[in-house]
Amino acid sequence: MSDCIFCKIIDGEIPADKIYEDEHLIAFNDLSPQAPVHVLVIPKKHIASTEDLLEDDAPIMGHIMTKIKDIAKLVGITNGYRLVINCGEDGQQTVPHLHIHLLGKRSLQWPPG
């Protein structure tokens, strides 16, 4: 997707503070961190949101989920974390490329706003 900001990060057209990258995903620091650790984990394939996931995307998404704990370790999280996926307007999704927020290194409130 040529006008997608996260696809531009994947293609190296926009810089990002990368934490981890492999064949299916990249993880980079959020520009506007909401916790001492705030990493975005995104599939390299452009998938707009969880509403757009196909059965064929299951291996990619499964791979991403299994890598989260490794990424958490890489950024020094030792006491738990929260994963958030915003979807659509009510979910306050602002970037239409599926991303998982990995938040940690502080005690997080529940429920979210």
- Kindly list the residues in this chain that would bind ligand AMP in the complex (CB under 6 A): 5, 14, 16, 30-32, 40, 86, 92-95
Catalytic residue among 24, 38, 63, 99: 99
The least distance separating Zn ion from the CB of residue 7, rounded to whole angstroms, comes to 3
7 binds, among Zn ion, ligand AMP, none (CB under 5 to 8 A by kind): Zn ion
Residue 4 near Zn ion by CB under 5 A: yes
Q: Are 62 and 25 in contact (CB under 8 A)?
A: no
Composition of the chain by helix, strand, coil, percent to 5: 25, 20, 50
Contact (Cβ atoms closer than 8 angstroms) between residue 21 and residue 67: no
| Whole-number Å distance between alpha carbons of 74 and 47 | 25
99 part of the active site = yes
Residues that bind Zn ion (CB under 5 A): 1, 4, 6-7, 46, 97
Annotated active-site positions, please? Answer: 99
